[in-house]
């Protein structure tokens, strides 16, 4: 029983080793080149993802290449512009393997691993990327370092750099035949230390000029607004004065007619004036408090009727202070 178990375990191990030596897997992001004794042809490329079979090494070997976009960045380069200025440019590019078979033939000598082939290809691409920076020499500094994004020509420069690299591939360069550049971009733009101060001074002078122009325009516009406001105020004041004079003249005319009517009958005027005074003085908001002892106000007392029945009228005293009680003596 133990011997059978050992045989089964050994068989599983042997099958595992054989399957490892005779099978390979290709992902959907990869393409593989299967070589026979180090040689490959058009039939050696495996593009479909899935499980594949091969003869054991060293008869056949498999090199798999990731066909997704890859990124490289060139070291900073000092470039002369069209206006004889210096800029320090850092550029980058994205690329991918275009022909796995051709890529293997060109860079397979760099090593036995795919990573070694990629490093060799990237070194070649960095050289081409640095070469494409020559397109910047056709532009001025202000075309690259524009204050407004719409005035910058960096996007145009990047397109010309990409076309430069693509033309290199189209020219039949053997090393470029298996590579496809996708995009080219400018990662950073810097000024050399010896020209930074001059550029900053020029930018400061430009900003000062723009500021002075804006202040002058603002002052002129403020003066125009102030002048219009003063004219409008003068027109409104004159209109109000004319209107006030017209109202005053109308009031004087009506007052003259009223005074003329009062002067014809002064007693009536005084009487009407007194009535007006009483109306204003004893309006609904005025409370008048008088004593019932005042002459003529006794009938307002609560016991006025009772007092009238019990009291006797006393005739007024004659002149000289004597009261007559009977007939003449």
The DSSP annotation for 196-214 comes to HHHHHHHHHHHHHHHHHHH
Could you tell me which residue, 279 or 98, shows the higher pLDDT?
98
Whole-angstrom Cα distance, residue 92 to residue 4? 62
User: What pLDDT does 269 receive?
Assistant: 75
User: What pLDDT does 104 receive?
Assistant: 92
Would you mind telling me the total number of residues written for the chain in this entry?
A: 329
Is the pLDDT reported for residue 303 higher than 50? Answer: yes
Greatest mean pLDDT among 200-204, 301-305, 323-327 lies in 200-204
Whole-angstrom Cα distance, residue 194 to residue 7? 79
Whole-angstrom Cα distance, residue 29 to residue 46? 12
**Where residue 325 falls among pLDDT bands split at 50, 70, 90?**
very low
| Beta strand extents in the chain (DSSP E only) | 23-26, 30-36, 45-46, 50-53, 60-66, 70-73, 77-80, 86-97, 179-190
Percent pLDDT > 90 in the chain is 37
User: What pLDDT does 163 receive?
Assistant: 92
pTM (predicted TM-score): 0.55
Q: Which of 81, 87, 79 is nearest to 194 (CA)?
A: 87
Least-confidence region, from 149-163, 238-252, 270-284: 270-284
pLDDT in tens, 2-14: 777 878 888 888 7
Return the domain boundaries, the chain. 2-64, 70-191
| CATH number for the domain formed by residue range(s) 70-191 | 3.30.479.30
Query: Is 147 in contact with 210 (CB distance < 8 Å)?
Result: no
**Where residue 144 falls among pLDDT bands split at 50, 70, 90?**
confident
User: What pLDDT does 326 receive?
Assistant: 41
Least-confidence region, from 69-73, 87-91, 118-122, 278-282: 278-282
pLDDT in tens, 197-233: 776 777 788 889 999 999 999 999 999 999 999 999 9
Average pLDDT of the residues in 301-323: 59
Is the pLDDT reported for residue 66 higher than 70? Answer: yes
Could you tell me which residue, 290 or 223, shows the higher pLDDT?
223
**Where residue 15 falls among pLDDT bands split at 50, 70, 90?**
confident
User: What pLDDT does 172 receive?
Assistant: 54
User: What pLDDT does 43 receive?
Assistant: 87
User: What pLDDT does 263 receive?
Assistant: 80
**Where residue 195 falls among pLDDT bands split at 50, 70, 90?**
low
pLDDT in tens, 94-112: 999 988 999 999 898 888 8
Least-confidence region, from 8-22, 101-115, 177-191, 266-280: 266-280
Give the mean pLDDT of the chain.
82
Query: Is 38 in contact with 4 (CB distance < 8 Å)?
Result: no
Is the pLDDT reported for residue 92 higher than 50? Answer: yes
Percent pLDDT > 70 in the chain is 83
């Amino acid at each position: 029983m133990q011997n059978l178990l050992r045989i089964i375990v050994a068989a599983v191990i042997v099958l595992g080793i054989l399957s490892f030596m005779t099978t390979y897997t290709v992902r959907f992001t990869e393409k593989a080149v299967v070589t026979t004794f180090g040689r490959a042809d058009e039939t050696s490329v495996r593009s479909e993802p899935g499980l594949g079979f091969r003869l054991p090494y060293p008869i056949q070997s498999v090199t798999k290449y990731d066909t997704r976009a890859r990124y490289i960045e060139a070291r900073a380069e000092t470039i002369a512009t069209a206006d004889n200025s210096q800029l320090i440019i850092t550029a980058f590019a994205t690329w991918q393997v275009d022909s796995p078979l051709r890529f293997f033939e060109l860079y397979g000598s760099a090593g036995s691993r795919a990573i070694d082939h990629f490093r060799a290809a990237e070194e070649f691409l960095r050289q081409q990327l640095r070469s494409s920076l020559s397109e910047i020499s056709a532009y001025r500094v202000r075309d690259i370092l524009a204050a407004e994004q719409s005035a910058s020509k960096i996007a145009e420069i990047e397109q010309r750099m990409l076309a430069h690299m693509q033309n290199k591939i189209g020219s039949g360069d053997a090393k470029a035949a298996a590579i496809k550049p996708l995009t080219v971009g400018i990662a950073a733009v810097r000024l050399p230390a010896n020209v930074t101060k001059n550029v900053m001074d020029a930018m400061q002078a430009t900003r000062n000029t723009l500021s002075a122009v804006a202040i002058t325009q603002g002052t002129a516009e403020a003066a125009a607004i102030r002048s219009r406001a003063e004219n409008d105020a003068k027109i409104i004041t004159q209109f109000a004065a004319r209107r006030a004079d017209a109202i005053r003249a109308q009031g004087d005319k009506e007052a003259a007619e009223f005074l003329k009517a009062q002067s014809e009958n002064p007693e009536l005027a005084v009487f009407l004036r007194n009535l007006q005074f009483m109306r204003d003085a004893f309006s609904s908001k005025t409370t008048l408090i008088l004593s019932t002892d005042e002459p003529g106000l006794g009938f307002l007392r609560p016991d006025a009727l009772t007092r009238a029945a019990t009291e006797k009228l006393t005739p007024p005293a004659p002149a000289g202070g004597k009261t007559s009680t009977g007939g003449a003596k």
